[in-house]
Amino acid sequence: MRAILGQRPLRFVFAANVISMLGSGMNSAAVAWYILQATHSEMALGTFAVLQTIPAMLMLPFTGVIIDREDRRLLVMWLDAVRAVIIITVAILVVYSDADTVNPPDMGQRIFEAAPEPKELAVLHGFPHNALYRTPSDEWWAPVLRFLQSR
């Protein structure tokens, strides 16, 4: 491992992979938390965990053969590109406050206008920068839950 990390380009690949894996883990945790919050059902959470695991288990025997036969760098680039397309095509929710003094409110509007469909805008009124977490739950969660339920 020390020899691999001794090469500068491989350190960048390693760091990018760690960041990507952290993001994927946070996404999985957020989806699992949402399912539990929305349904209050351990069975729904368990079903999600099983459905998330089955594709990897089914593809495991084939992916080793593909990885051995193909150029790994090209394969990684293609898989990352496909993953990026999938992530980009997911619906977008833009939430901002009209009283934010750090990020001007029109910036949230511009982000929303630039985002591809499907998208939704939620404007919270009177909350300064980084105070959204202190927002009464109905004001903050209602647009988020409405957005998620409409997808």
The per-residue pLDDT for range 109-133, each reduced to its tens digit, is: 887 887 777 778 888 777 776 665 5
Same domain, 100 and 82: no
Same domain, 15 and 83: yes
Same domain, 81 and 97: no
Same domain, 101 and 139: yes
Q: For residues 77-114, b (16+ Cβ closer than 10 Å) or e, as one string? A: eeeeeeeeeeeeeeebbbbbbeebeeeeeeebeeebee
Domain count, the chain: 2
Same domain, 102 and 132: yes
Instruction: Please state the rounded mean pLDDT for residues 70-95.
Output: 76
Same domain, 68 and 81: yes
Owning domain of residue 134: 92-149
Same domain, 104 and 123: yes
DSSP secondary structure string for all residues of 15-83: HHHHHHHHHHHHHHHHHHHHHHHHH--HHHHHHHHHHHHHHHHHHHHHHHHHHHHS-HHHHHHHHHHHH
Same domain, 21 and 70: yes
Same domain, 115 and 137: yes
Distance CA 117, CA 138 (A): 25
> Measured between alpha carbons, how far apart are the two ends of the chain, in Å?
43
> Which tokens belong to 36?
């539990």
Distance CA 91, CA 151 (A): 8
Q: Has this prediction a pTM greater than 0.75? A: no
Q: What is the dihedral of CA 129, 25, 86, 36, to 10 degrees?
A: -80
Of 89, 109, 139, which residue sits at a domain end? 89
Instruction: Please state the rounded mean pLDDT for residues 21-49.
Output: 84
The alpha carbon dihedral of 47, 50, 54, 55 has a sign of: positive
Instruction: Please state the rounded mean pLDDT for residues 17-23.
Output: 87
Of 89, 114, 129, which residue sits at a domain end? 89
Same domain, 9 and 48: yes
Same domain, 22 and 50: yes
Written as one letter, the residue type at 57 is: M
Same domain, 12 and 78: yes
Helix or strand or coil: residue 125? coil
Distance CA 95, CA 122 (A): 5
Instruction: Please state the rounded mean pLDDT for residues 52-80.
Output: 86
Of 54, 71, 89, which residue sits at a domain end? 89
